[in-house]
Structure 1
Amino acid sequence: MNYIERPEYLQQLLDLMDTPDIKIITGVRRSGKSELMKAYIRKITETQPDANIIFVDLFDLKYEELKEYHKL
């Protein structure tokens, strides 16, 4: 699988980083939403190594119990 960088989308997220707005990434399946989020996290941790970031991939089996809302 080829990785396609999306610098425009990443820059849009970075421009909105310090705003109080909730950012929502939408798109069709397998369009790169998770990879965009991982790139965003990498950029944040480059400038803020002590940033408090939690990334939960619900397709990862170690988070399977979080699929039930009351356990989350």
Structure 2
Amino acid sequence: MSKKIEGFSKWSKDQKINWITQMHFEDSANAKEILLSYNHPRKEIQQQHDEFIENSITNFYLPLGVAPNFVING
């Protein structure tokens, strides 16, 4: 990246995704499709995700597991 990006935080989410996929991926259409595939299907929930952090471009799903019957620090 040779020059500073000005006003990135003011761009729309779609503008940010387009810039990132065009600048950093050979197949920008496929990269955009993958990023968008992580959006929540319910628009109101996705909006909450987008408002949670500045410059949101997609969601990151992290598996959550439960390990019963463990004693920690005990």
- Which structure has more helix as a fraction of its residues? 2
TM-score w.r.t. length of structure 1 = 0.27
TM-score w.r.t. length of structure 2 = 0.27
Question: Which protein has the larger Cα radius of gyration, Structure 1 or Structure 2?
Answer: 2
User: Which of the pair has the greater relative contact order for Cα pairs under 8 Å at 6+ separation?
Assistant: 2
